[in-house]
Homo-oligomer: A and B are copies of this chain.
Amino acid sequence: MDVGDLRAHNRLGLLRAVHDGAAGRTRSQLTRDLELARGTASVLVAGLVEDELLQESPPKEHARGRPTRLPGPHPNGPLALAADLREDTWTLAACELGGGSTVLATRGHDGTPGDALHSLGAALRERLGPRVVGVGLSAAGPVRADGLLDISHLDWVDVDVAAALALGEVPLRVGNDARLAGLAEARRGHLRGVDVGLHVHVDFDPGGALLIEGRPLAGSGGTAGEFGHMPLTGGDEPCPCGARGCLSLAVGRNSLLRHVGLEAGRGRGREQAERIVAAAAEGDRAAVAAIEANARALGKGIGALVNALDPGTVTVSGLGVALVGETLRRSCDEALMEMRRRRPPAILASALADRGPLIGAMESVFDAFLTREGLDFWRATRPKHEM
């Protein structure tokens, strides 16, 4: 490591602090928080403004002395395009440093890779430009290290997302929706500042992420977080994943539909599941029973993971939000070791509603950008002002 790395480290630290703090900290606060000398902060901010990464604006409130300024995203600064691909729609948003985002488009699709990825690719290519530093995509299936995507319940097998989107040289980050929801929770939700956090995202089945100091555990092949495929039902019913007795069979949309006698899986299940949740809220007995059974199973699963991994806080998103409650907490508590019951982790519904995967996709792009390489590339491709 040399002196150049030192400067890069401090530049990145400052930029990261602005981003993670949602551009809400003044320069003087940043200087104190990062333990920089005022002169150093001065040079760093000037450099970042020069490079069109930050811009300083006057803050809303003043204190006693000389007013400080509020570093925020530069109007010509980097943008991340984030897309949330679901089984029947996709949403596309442009996000700037600090996390501010604008939804650019939403569109339905027919569930085939052809239609879904073709239309999304076209929308993305339309928005590309010199400010775009990467594209992040959240997908409802495991993304392997080689970039191929499987979404079993839509019959997507080994789909090469990068090729289908045809984005050329623009860096593409594809991630599993559950993991990205966890990443978002760690950066802008209830797992912020938590040393070890567990996030469970329930969609058609449960998945999630283990967040260690704000970073999701990727796993060796990039597919950690398949918490739904631990054999916790107690039975040996075959799971579509190929194993038996998986938690997935008892938690998630598929399980919910099966509980009320509907056929699980394939396409239109999301609305039906939402209807069951709504019916349960109004006291429908069958719906309540289905929700309760799911909550018990999820509680047991969370308990198993808490025993094994000792997270400080647990968050739940997606359909799982409807499962958070007394039943789930009791079931989790029963599954805990006596030792853990003394200080059980809080189990919280996500703070980000259904925007978790989208926000996570953004964060994954900025995680790649906020590196020495990312910034060097940005600097190299800016038009020079002098010379």
B308 touching A229, Cβ below 8 Å: yes
Supposing A212-B217, A220-B195, A303-B243 touch, asked if A308 and B227 sit within 8 A by C-beta, the answer is: yes
* Chain B nearest CB, measured from A343 CB (Å): 7
Residues of B within 8 A of A234 (CB): 231, 234-236, 245
CA A333 to CA B310, docked complex, whole Å:
26
Q: Would you give the shortest CB distance from A240 to chain B, in whole angstroms?
A: 9
* Residues of chain B lying within 8 A (CB to CB) of residue A343: 221
Interface centre among A3, A212, A222, A231 (most CB of B within 10 A): A231
CA distance A52 to B236 in the complex (A): 61
Contact of A241 among B5, B241, B337 (CB under 8 A): B337
Residues in B with CB closer than 8 Å to A230 are 230, 232, 304-305, 307-308
Q: Is the CB of B210 within 8 A of A338?
A: no
Q: What residues of B have a CB within 8 angstroms of the CB of A337 in the complex?
A: 226, 229, 241-243
- 9 A-B pairs closest in CB distance: A219-B310, A242-B338, A220-B312, A224-B310, A230-B304, A241-B337, A229-B307, A196-B220, A223-B310
A residues bordering B, Cβ < 8 Å?
Answer: 1-3, 5-6, 9-10, 13, 142, 144, 150, 194-196, 210, 212, 217-227, 229-232, 234-236, 241-245, 300, 303-305, 307-313, 334-341, 343, 345
